Each structure stands twice: as structure tokens, then as C-alpha cells.
Amino acid sequence: MDLQMLTYLFVGGSFALYIGIAIWSRAGSTKEFYVAGGGVHPLANGAATAADWMSAASFISLAGIISFMGSDGTGYLMGWTGGYVLLAMLLAPYLRKFGKFTVPDFVGDRYYSSAARLVAVICVIFISFTYVAGQMRGVGIVFSRFLEVDVNTGVVIGMAVVFFYAVLGGMKGITYTQVAQYCVLIFAFTVPAVFLTYQITGHVLPQTGLGATLDSGQSVLATLDGLVTDLGFKEYTAGNKSTIDMFFITAALMCGTAGLPHVIVRFFTVPKVKDARTSAGWALLFIAILYTAVPAVAAMGRVNLINTVNGADGSGTAYTEMPSWFKNWENSGLIGWNDVNGDGKVQYANGKAFTGNGKPAFDGDKRGPNGERAVTNANTDAKPVAGAPFANEVYVDRDIMVLANPEIANLPNWVIALVAAGGVAAALSTAAGLLLVISTAVSHDLLKKTFAPNISEKQELLAARGAAVVAITIAGLFGIYPPGFVAQVVAFAFGLAAASFFPVILMGIFYKRMNKEGAIAGMSVGLAFTFSYIVYFKFIAPGDNNAAHWILGVSPEGIGTLGMILNFVVSFVVSSMTPPPPEEIQHIVEDIRVPRGAGTAHAH
């Protein structure tokens, strides 16, 4: 069976499964829509949490970012895994014991303030839409290549599927759909990882393959170091970022994970506080299967890319024609060849192959004399690079690495189709969780708890579904006009979460004196500072030329940590200068810290 038919079969079959589960588990009440009725088994919730958390950034972009950043990319790996441990151990059980549906619900009740709830809702919407932009871009990338449709059409197809099971099933439908999506995405990631590891090293497990000795007598990492330095890149194992920036990025990702509203809400779907801890343990195990394989997939994918483009010995001997996988991916606009010197040979090295931001500007379907894509502007950036034998002629979007790996390695068509289904599952599972959080924030926290407390449960459920429809539409626009690489965009969401939610949740649990004035001031300052910094250095004045103006040398990806510190300081100072919270609130704070783990949480 050819690749196109297999892809339609795998992706279409997974869609049918997700929609079938949504119909079977459709929500009939607000409790089922918001928290799946609170009766999900910890094992199932662990798988659903893992799928919710391992988004397109984990499946599609993490290995790609490490492939090109090398050791600098490990901050993403450490931050996201460490952050989940922080969430599972430090926050989740206490939030579950507090017994509220949403993070704004916790903030509103803990800080006895509608204003605090409103600020929390704004934070949720900011974070969730920033995060969902990355997921929709992931969906578009998968569809543009494997279903051979326009990226925008792919985003619309993804929107339609999410619309069906998120709006109909609510959290109940999403939970059981995410269990299925976890099975699909983990199988889709590990199968090609095993193939790739065995092909290059002879080892079966990706987790042990990275240190394997190759026929050359060198390890995979030593081989990759040699390949990239020959082409003018910095050593793969050498870090580029400063220690303080790496620390700030890792901390922002860790604390951002612990403040992500769509992950936190998963711990409200289990019956008891003890189950929240158990499901967190299962989720960590399920997440580790993918994350421990990522470094090997990243390094081996880069080795294959270089050898395929530049010749098997990596010395600069170039093919006169690109292999079929390259031509397939060229159609998606995520990779491109600009024959700068007109010699008809493909030459990959450090440097820009195209003008502007480095991304190819394709001129319709016109081809160059040797089959390369023609570009609209003449290249002015391609110059010989010190240490490289020639100038660069190839543009590679890092987001394609995991998806293109099976084709680069000439794996069977069914593996390529499986990866396509896994990429879609990863993106859609997280997108659905985020969209539900947005709709819940609007219907439950804004309407029911703030502006229209007298609406019926039926009206609230209708409002939640309506808000989900609006959220899906806006998310689709983000997918069509994405603001960056998938993992980069997601990193901004984590930075915003770290700067806004993490301090008020942590201090809300462990600091009785924390009051509403402190919470509102801290969230507002943290969010405003972090958002402004990201927007300025990523959109208004982007580029490495402005790195000298970064505060303390901290990049926009890591600035959430500084925003979080500001939040903590402002919250503490303002709380100390204003009246303490009421006695009953202080008693609640004491109560949720009492280690009665097996007890049922307070009723909502």
C-alpha cells in the first residue's frame, strides 16, 4: 500500500476513534463537562494527563530544537520534566483537596475576590491562546506534508475534529479521547526511534543508543560533533547560551509547567486526593517513555540529515539532486534549496541560504535549472563561513525533524504514516485541553461566578460550548498565522504561566498571610512584565543584535523566571502592607495542608 493511502488510513482511523469516544462519553452536566464527573480512574487519568501535557512541542518540536541547538536545547528537556515533578509533588494534591474546578476558581475563592478571579481568567486566556498557537501550527505542519493539503486547510481540518469532541464531550469526552491519543502518540514516537537507533548503532533502545560506539570507533555524539564542526557549526555538545540564561529558561519551563491551567485541571477529574498523587505518578512514567528517547532521536536525526544532504562522508561532497524525501518536504515550505553558486550541487553548512528571516520565499511552483526551488529575492547572505568548505544553500525548519526522520532513514511507509497520526494526536490532545480551559474560564469563572450568578446549569453548559466554539475559531487563526517555532511559542506560554500563576498558587497554599491585594498586584505585574518583554524582543525588535539589551542577559524564553520573581516580591510586599485575609480563609489554608491524603475533597 502506498504512503498516501496508509496515511489516510492511519490518520482517518484515529479521527474516527476520537469522534466515536466523544459520542460515547458526551457530557450531560457541567460537572462532566468541566471535570469529567470527578470519577476517572488514576491510571486512565495518568495517560490522559501525559497526552494533555506532551503537546506538539514535545512530539514534533523538542527533538528538532535539540537537533539544532545541541546541549542548549536540554533546558527544554530538563525544564518540562522537572516542572511536572514540581506540579505533581508540590501543588496538585493540595489543589485537588481545595476542590475547585479551575485555577481562577481557586484564586477567586482563596483570595476572596472577584477582581482576583478576573485577573486569573485573563491570565488563563493569555497562556492558553499562546500555547494553543503552537498546537495548531503542529497540526498544519503534519497535514501540509502527509495529506498533501495546504497548511491552512490542515488547520481547518484539525479545528473541525477538536470542535466535535471538545464541544460535545467536554472534559469527559476529552479525557477518554486523550487516553487513546496517548497510545497513538507514544507508539508513533517510539517505533521510528527504535528503527533509527538500530539502524545507526545496532542498539534497540533509544535510551542507550546515544552513547553507542559506531564502526568509526566514535560515539554518536563525537561523530556528530565532527560532522557539524566540518560544516561551520559550533560543536553539538558545546553550549552557546550563558549559564544564567540556561538557568532562567529551565526555571521558567519548570515553574510554568506547575502553573499550567490545562494540566492542573486534570487532577480534579479523579475521585480522591490520593488518586491525584497516583495519577501524577502514572503520568510521569508515561511521559518518561518519550522524553528519555528524545536526545537520541535528535542526535541521530541530525546525523542522517547531514549525511543525506552532503554525502555519506560529511566532507562536503554534495549530491547533484536532492533525495525524494527532500522534494516531498519542499512542497510544505519547511525546507528549501537555493543554488547560490549555480553549480547544480546541494551544499549544507552554517549560514543563511535565503534572504530575510532565512525562510525560503517560494515563487509559485517555478523551479531552478537543476530542479531546485526558485526564490523571489536574490541571496545576499550566503558567504563562506570560517571552518566550512562552502556557503550554505539549505534552509531547514527545525519543526520537521521528527516528522521527516522516517523518510530520511528510508523506513517503511507504515512507520511514516504512523508518525503522521502521532503528530496529529499530540497536537490535538493538548489543543482540546487548552480550549476546554478557555471555555470553562469564560462560562464558569466569568459568567457563573462573576457576571451572571443566577444562570441555570443548562445555560452555563450552553455558554461553555459557545465559548469553546469561539476559542477554536481564534485558535485556528493562530494556526494559520503562527508567531514562531512550535516549541518557542509554547516556551512563551510556560513563561507567562510561571510569571502569573505559580507564585499565587504556591503562596496561596503555603503562606496564610497572602491576601487578595498581594495576589492581584503580583499576577498583574508578573504577566505585564513578561508579556511586554516577549513581545518587544520577539516581534518589535527581534534578532541577535538586540541580545545586548536583554536584562541580565536573559532571553525572552527565560524571562518568565524574572517575571515570577517580581510576582513573588510584589505579592509579599503588598500583602505585608495590607490587611491579612479573613480568619476563615486562613483556616482553609491550614486545612488543605493537613496530610489527610486519602480523604475526599470538599464538594464544589
* SS3 readout for 394-436: EEECHHHHHHHHHHHCCCCHHHHHHHHHHHHHHHHHHHHHHHH
User: Where in the chain is CATH 1.20.1730.10?
Assistant: 3-300+412-592
Percent of the chain with pLDDT over 90: 11
Best CA proximity match to 443, nearest among 25, 37, 33: 33
d(CA 382, CA 171): 51
Length of the chain: 604
Asked if pLDDT for residue 535 goes beyond 60, the answer is yes
Average pLDDT over residues 512-533: 92
Q: Label residue 578 by pLDDT band (50, 70, 90).
A: very high
What is the pLDDT confidence band of residue 566, given thresholds at 50, 70 and 90?
very high
pLDDT at 386 over 50: no
Taking a C-beta distance cutoff of 8 angstroms, is the pair 424, 14 a contact?
yes
Average pLDDT value for residue range 254-283: 81
Q: How confident is the model over 436-453, as a mean pLDDT?
A: 80
Give the per-residue pLDDT at 571.
96
Q: Which tens digits make up the pLDDT trace of 154-198?
A: 788 878 877 776 666 667 777 888 888 899 889 999 999 999 998
Alpha-helical segments (H) within 57-150: 62-69, 74-86, 92-98, 103-110, 114-146
Angle, alpha carbons 268-274-278 (nearest 5°)? 85
Residue owning grid cell 515550505: 333
pLDDT per position as a tens digit, 103-133:
788 888 889 888 888 888 887 887 777 777 7
- 370-388 burial: b if 16+ Cβ within 10 Å, else e: eebbbbeeebeebeebeeb
Q: In 3-state terms, what secondary structure has residue 27?
A: coil
Residue predicted with more confidence, 518 or 93: 518
Q: Which tops the pLDDT comparison, 342 or 462?
A: 462
* Amino acid letter for position 339: D
Q: Are 161 and 479 in contact (CB under 8 A)?
A: no
CA atoms within 13 A of residue 185's CA, in its CB half-sphere:
33
pLDDT of residue 193: 92
Out of 54-63, 87-96, 144-153, 578-587, the most confident range is 578-587
pLDDT of residue 27: 62
Q: What is the pLDDT of residues 388-429, one digit of tens each?
A: 445 677 888 887 888 888 888 888 889 888 888 888 887 777
Q: Cell 533502545 sits at which residue?
A: 205
103 and 124 Cβ atoms separated by less than 8 Å? yes
Beta bridge partners of 362: 375
pLDDT surpasses 60 at 595: no
The tens digit of pLDDT for each residue in 30-40 reads 666 666 556 78
Q: Residue 119 and residue 125: Cα distance in Å, rounded?
A: 10
**pLDDT value at 545 more than 60:** no
Confidence of residue 515 (pLDDT cuts 50, 70, 90): very high
Residue in 225, 222, 287, 256 with CA at minimum distance from that of residue 75: 256
Confidence label for 29 from pLDDT (cuts 50, 70 and 90): low
Give the model confidence (pLDDT) of 206-232 as tens digits.
888 877 887 777 888 888 888 888 888
Mean pLDDT score of the chain: 78
What percentage of the chain reaches a pLDDT higher than 70?
81
What single-letter amino acid sits at 526?
G
Answer yes or no: CATH 1.20.1730.10 is held by domain 3-300+412-592. Answer: yes
Beta bridge partners of 219: 213
pLDDT at 602: 45
Whole-angstrom Cα distance, residue 513 to residue 402?
Answer: 48
pLDDT at 385 over 60: no
Closest listed residue to residue 141, CA positions, set 507, 435, 423, 540: 423
- Confidence bin at 314 (pLDDT 50/70/90): very low
Which residues is 396 bridged to in the sheet? 335
**Separation of first and last alpha carbons in the chain:** 53
pLDDT of residue 3 exceeding 90, the answer is no
User: The whole model's pTM is what?
Assistant: 0.79
- Parallel, antiparallel or unpaired: strands 394-396 and 335-337: antiparallel
